[in-house]
Amino acid sequence: MIRHFIELFDLSAEAAVDLIDRAIELKRHDQQGHRPPYLEGRTLGLIFEKPSLRTRVSFEAAIAQLGGNAIFLNGKDVGMGVRESIPDFARVISQYVDVLAVRTFAHQTIEALAEHATIPVVNALSDAAHPCQALADLMTIKETLGRLEGLRLVFVGDGNNVARSLALAAALTGMEFALAAPIGYEFPSQFRAQFEATFPHIPLVVEHDPRRALAGADVVYTDVWASMGQEHEAELRRAAFAPFQVNQELLSQAKDEAIFLHCLPARREEEVTSEVLDGPQSVVILQAANRLHFQKALLIWLLSDKWPEELTRTVPNAMQGQAAS
């Protein structure tokens, strides 16, 4: 069965934890100068309809460090869904590359590609989900705080794609999650319904008071107030989100040892102050760096039948446990 990585609703808790632990182990090996070509001769296709720094470079570096290579395709240039149908495109691209990572607007585009491709398809970002970001973020949290289970993660912002994937990642790994958002900017009803059906015993907490939301938080996370495609709402959102700016006073409501995360790029002095972003509690550069290591683990998981032996010595092997649909 072909593994895809489309959204975290498709992933088991065992597979999520396994991917995070393998990424940490891969990073440790890399820091020791051990970088075997696990995916030698494999080719990663990248189709991006949105601009990118971290996602594109981390994926290209990941496949290169694993011994493979990448082909970057601008979504507008290839005309996917314009010059030819998405099913035709998926069937043809499957003849050229071994795995396809897609950064796009409509989540349905990635679902259609996965339906018709005969290779693994990765959601490198859609308007509905950002699963690569979320699991790399949990890798950072586990590295920094030593565990995931029982920690409280508060996302300050709207119920966007990053917040949705983080809520799912937290549910899969035993973390508490809360969204601190203005009224009217909560999770979409469809996501909430699917979350509640998938995790009936886990509350999807939304707070409208950011100070109350941050009480007892181990991790404070924020994102831009207007994402790509929402620029026309920027002024309205600035007014609504002004009380939700993560500044030092708001961050002080969390635990003293709490860490701060941001998926970047940041609009300094809007959703976060430079004092926080550059401060001692911020781990945003480590967070960005870990995209590379998580995506190395993800590519191995998608393209291999089993983990390399050296990665199974310190971490229980759950590779056989889940193939995403």
| pLDDT given for residue 322 in this prediction | 42
Query: 8-130+291-306 architecture in CATH?
Result: 3-Layer(aba) Sandwich (3.40)
Active site residue 263: yes
- Please say whether the beta carbons of 165 and 220 come within 8 A: no
For the chain, list residues with pLDDT below 50: 318-325
Summarised one tens digit per residue, pLDDT across range 49-104 is: 998 999 999 999 999 999 999 999 987 788 888 889 999 999 999 999 999 999 99
Q: Which CATH class is domain 131-286?
A: alpha beta
Per-residue model confidence (pLDDT) at position 234: 84
**Euclidean distance between the first and the last CA atom of the chain, given in angstroms as a whole number:** 9
User: What pLDDT does 16 receive?
Assistant: 98
Whether the CB-CB separation of 98 and 115 falls below 8 Å is answered with no
Pick out the residues of the known binding site for carbamoyl phosphate.
Answer: 103, 130-133, 263-264, 291
Segments making up each domain of the chain, as ranges: 8-130+291-306, 131-286
147 is known as an active-site residue: no
Catalytic choice (21, 164, 223, 287) = 223
pLDDT score at 123: 98
Decide whether 8-130+291-306 matches 131-286 in CATH topology.
yes
CA atoms in the 13 A half-sphere facing the CB of 148: 25
Of the candidates 4, 152, 262, 291, the residue annotated as catalytic is 291
**Is residue 133 among the annotated active site residues?**
yes
